[in-house]
Chains A and B, each alone.
Chain A
Amino acid sequence: MNRKDVIRYITVFLITLTLFLSATWLSSFLNGRKLEDVKNIQDKISIDILSSETQFQLLQEFSCKDVSATSLSGELNDLAKKISFSEENIKNQDQVIELKKYYSLLQIKDYLLMEKIRSKCRVSVVPIFYFYTTEENCSDCVRQSAVLTELRGQYPELRVYSFDYNLKLSALESLIKIFKVEDTKLPAVYMNERLYTGFQSTEKILKTFPELEKYRIAREKAEAQLEAQTKLGN
């Protein structure tokens, strides 16, 4: 082997290393942008919640006509999907966990606001709390997530608050204590002021919330009326 061969080996090493570092940098840059995107959505939700709370406090004797379920942010579902994707695909787990904590807090705040609105007005919102784990191979968690995602798509009135049981967050720990959720019995679903452990089927959830079907019929009726009105207007 001559000097030219040695130089070639070194050159190739440097080119390969550059390509590898470029791949790492590009991935890190794009993932950073994604996390920034998640953070922006969270900030927007945070402002939405704060705004609704302020509005709620200002108008103590408000008309229920002015405040409805739409006061609650509709972007929480979108955010849930993005955080779940980031958790599986983005290497910077510390940053993802931070965002997840923020998301959990936003969910709790969203729930508190929703409860306030619910206590004063008749709003068609049904809350459900879902506790899962990512620390062990939880097949039922995969199944439960699929059921809740599907139900959330079919019934926008169902507001699913999902929490990673193992997330170290004091507000979440308080919630876990209040609902008496145990880590050995995951997944757990809290609905209609009762905790259910293990997998809960679509049928079971719909049976617990018969109002969901009424809401759906009412929603579809309203949508049909709106469509008819639009056609008439045209």
Chain B
Amino acid sequence: MSEILIWVFYLLSFLSLYVQIYFLVVFLERRKDIIVRRQPIKLNNYPAVTITVPAYNEGSSVTKTVDSLLALDYPKEKLFLILVDDGSTDNTFEFMQAYESNPQIKIFKKANGGKFSAQNLGLEHCTTGFVGCLDSDSLVHPEALKRIMTYFLNQEVMAVAPTIVTWQAKNIVQKAQKIDYELQIYVKKMLSFVNAIHVTPGPFSIFRIEVFNKLGPYKHAHVTEDQEIALRMQTAGMKIEHAPDAYVYTMAPKTIRGLYLQRTRWIYGFLRNAIDYKHLFFKKKYGNIGFLTLPSGFVSVLGVMFLFVFVGSRFVQYLHNKSLEISATGLSFDVNSFSFDPFFINTSTILFVSVFVYSSVLFSLYMGHKILHGKSKFSLDIFLFFIVYSLVAPFWLLKAVWNAVRKYESSWTAEIDSR
């Protein structure tokens, strides 16, 4: 049995390392194409853009979101906002009404129908060539829209995903997420180079309106409509870009429970959408999305769960033996008994493979940090990331897999209410 577990470990480690090496090779091929602008830019042409802000029980935070959109460095006559109250039970709509007199803004209130329905309402009232959405728990960098719009100079580009970073990470849970978001910057950029992005995030992904004209509106899509639309675009052969310098600040969940609910929904959505789009898997005509992104998503879900059980069972066995030893001899601490002998250093293949896998993940973290900040600085938050994610991620993955098997959907509104 333990032999089988070790071989499963090797297989999953091989696949994980394969994905990381793949990103490294892409990075070496395309590193000069990573554009990060730190200074304000000017565009020759400013296409008109509509941004929908769907909100459910966001209270006053919707004000910050809308204010950040209004503060975008973009001509006012070219930027339109559609605020949609998705049946909030708090005072969200009152906060929205404060913008009633602004000619850039239209405000709607509807019965609660989920985020996708609010976004579709925005699409219905959109009259511009470009459309996007901004979750009402997010803020945008003043330069973000201009930086995104430069990618649309390429007529093949149908959507551009921004770079999401955490807004004022204060506690341990948020600091751990900060590192996770930085890791995603590098991953997403590498995926964009091989046209394999599988999600156009809710916060501030911008689309050409043709995307929805040709493919139809957002779908319920297991409460992850931003993943589904990206997969629909990949099926239609539409190119999705990533702007690593178009920053969107998201208010990361403050509690473990909030993080757990959010990630359970994301992973559940990924699994269910990947099943719905199983025709993409390993088909040459769909390219790298089916050969790399979707299979590697499944590998990471399996890998983290397996690692948790594999390492956990060994740790439990170790604790069991230690408790047996202590029960036999009592708790004794003999300083003289400690002597260093290199013989007792672990030199197993498992250790070296783990070192390779973790080194490759650390490289991704380093690159994400460097793209974001323009400099490399070691942050102790990396430890928080490994600790929090190692301990909690297996549970949201297990729950998401369990929910996916039972087709039990996570609730977006419940997630917001838990904050």
Q: Which A residues lie at the B interface, using CB under 8 A?
A: 1, 5, 8-9, 11-13, 15-16, 19-20, 22-24, 26-28, 30-31, 34, 37, 82, 85, 89-91, 139, 142-147, 150, 153, 199, 201-202
Contacts and interface: CB of A to CB of B under 8 A. Distances in A.
28 contacts: A1-B285, A1-B287, A5-B194, A8-B22, A9-B291, A11-B25, A12-B22, A13-B18, A15-B25, A22-B352, A23-B349, A23-B355, A24-B349, A27-B347, A27-B348, A27-B352, A34-B343, A37-B343, A85-B343, A91-B348, A142-B321, A143-B327, A146-B325, A146-B329, A147-B328, A150-B329, A153-B334, A202-B328
Which of B10, B21, B351, B355 has the most chain A CB atoms inside 10 A of its CB? B21
A201 B18 contact: no
B344 interface: yes
B26 A8 contact: yes
A13 B328 CA distance: 50
B324 A143 contact: yes
B344 A85 contact: yes
Given A1-B287, A5-B287, A89-B346, A23 B352 contact: yes
Chain B, interface size: which category? 35 or more
A8 B324 CA distance: 52
B25 A12 contact: yes
Contact of B353 (A11, A23, A34, A202): A23
Given A1-B288, A31-B347, 4 more contacts: A5-B194, A13-B18, A24-B352, A142-B328
B17 interface: yes
Interface of B: 10, 14, 17-18, 21-22, 25-26, 29, 194, 284-285, 287-288, 291, 321, 324-325, 327-329, 332, 334, 337, 343-344, 346-349, 351-353, 355-356
A50 to B, nearest CB: 25
B18 A12 contact: yes
A150 B332 contact: yes
Contacts of A89: 346-348
B349 A91 contact: yes
A90 to B, nearest CB: 8
Contacts of B18: 12-13, 16
A201 B344 contact: no
Nearest to A154: B334
A82 B344 CA distance: 8
A26 B356 CA distance: 13
B328 A201 contact: yes
List the 4 closest pairs (A to B, CB-CB), nearest first. Answer: A23-B352, A143-B328, A146-B325, A30-B347
Nearest to A141: B324
Contacts of B337: 153
A18 B353 CA distance: 11
Contacts of B348: 27, 31, 89-91
A24 B291 CA distance: 27
A51 to B, nearest CB: 25
Contacts of B352: 22-24, 26-27
A146 B10 CA distance: 33
Nearest to B13: A20
Contacts of B17: 16, 19-20
Contacts of B22: 8-9, 12
Contacts of B327: 143
B154 to A, nearest CB: 18
A56 B325 CA distance: 40
**In this complex, which of A20, A145, A147, A201 has the most chain B Cβ atoms within 10 angstroms of its Cβ?**
A20
Contacts of B329: 146-147, 150, 202
B187 to A, nearest CB: 15
Contacts of A146: 324-325, 328-329
A150 B325 CA distance: 10
Nearest to B359: A19
A16 B344 CA distance: 28
A142 B317 CA distance: 12
A19 B349 contact: no
A224 B62 CA distance: 79
A95 B115 CA distance: 63
B113 to A, nearest CB: 38
A12 B347 contact: no
Contact of B324 (A12, A24, A142): A142
B2 to A, nearest CB: 11
A26 B321 CA distance: 29
Contacts of B355: 23
B328 A8 contact: no
A150 B329 CA distance: 7
A1 B18 CA distance: 18
A28 B321 CA distance: 27
Contacts of B334: 153
Contacts of B344: 85
A106 B104 CA distance: 90
A30 B356 CA distance: 17
Contacts of A19: 17, 21, 356
Contacts of A9: 22, 291
A136 B194 CA distance: 52
Contact of B14 (A16, A26, A139): A16
Contacts of A27: 347-349, 351-352
B188 to A, nearest CB: 18
